[in-house]
Structure 1
Amino acid sequence: MKKLYYTSFFYAVLGLLAGVFYREATRHNGFTGETALSPLHTHLLVLGFMFFLIVLGLGKLFGLHEMRSFGAWYLVYNLGLLITIGTMAVRGMLQVKGSDIPSLPYIAGLGHLILGAGIIWLLVLLGKRIQRV
């Protein structure tokens, strides 16, 4: 349970820092257009901070953290989120600097795929615990 709290706390801090980073990076470089850095703040706060607070509550209610595969789910979801967030940050900074990496959307797609699998996996775990109640 503490791991879920600390993970939520980590993503809250990272999300707030991402908001400040977006503002300062674009201001410092004189960038005024759209960039992948702008939704980074929201993605971190919703898919990281708030998501893990919800999982913490579900864990308390249904004992999700006691399930055998919960640890593997935790790693998969965080891997998908970190790949997705990492590619957003890299792409955003490249956009601010005026360049891009053509293969970056494929890496972001992989992160989204892993993240989606993690969400489905969590729902399966939750479904198994609800059936027991």
Structure 2
Amino acid sequence: MRRLYFASLAYMITGVLSGLFYREFTKANDFPAGQFTQLGLVHTHLLTLGFIVLLIVLLLEKVFALSQHGKLFDWFFWLYNAGLIVTSGGLVWHGTLTVLGRESSAMTSGIAGLGHMLLTAGMVIFFIILGRSLKTTTIAAPAAQRVEA
């Protein structure tokens, strides 16, 4: 559970800093306000897919003990995080080139696509783990809802 907490915290910090970088980098390079660049997507990707999703996984871990699935949970954790890092890195690279007025190559899009594939693989494994946990876990009703005989 601690690694989920620290990963979520790291994504929250990185997400906020990426928003700051986006604002200051576009200002410093006189990039027209409102014009699209993928730098703006990094902030939301890191905060949503990193910070929020991993907080939700942390809550599900607390309820369903998802990590009891050992190596399968490790595969989810590392594939998902690798995918998010690669995707975000591709967005930063592509967005930076856009702000600087340079063309990006197909390789940049390919790397971002690879990151999305890793994210998808991580999510598939997560749902396998969650499905298995739902089959084996029973959740007791809160004390206030229990009916005594």
TM-score category, normalised to shorter length:
over 0.9
- Map of 1:76 onto structure 2: 79
- Note the aligned Cα RMSD (angstroms): 0.8
* Superposed CA offset, 1:86-106 (max 9, x none): 000000000000112312111
* Superposed CA offset, 1:4-63 (max 9, x none): 000000000000000000000000000012100011101100000001100000000000
- Map of 2:46 onto structure 1: 44
Unaligned runs of 5+ in 2: 138-149
- Map of 2:95 onto structure 1: 92
- Identity among equivalent pairs (%): 41
| TM-score, with structure 2 as normaliser | 0.87
Unaligned runs of 5+ in 1: none
* Alpha-carbon separation, structure 2, partners of 1:37 and 1:6: 24
* Alpha-carbon separation, structure 1, partners of 2:76 and 2:125: 7
* Superposed CA offset, 1:57-115 (max 9, x none): 00000000221121121111111111000000000000000112312111111110110
| TM-score, with structure 1 as normaliser | 0.97
* Alpha-carbon separation, structure 1, partners of 2:103 and 2:57: 35
Aligned length: 133
Q: Give the ranges of 4+ consecutive aligned residues of structure 1 lying more than 6 Å apart after TM superposition.
A: none
Mark the structure with the bigger radius of gyration.
2
- Map of 2:56 onto structure 1: 54
- Map of 1:109 onto structure 2: 113
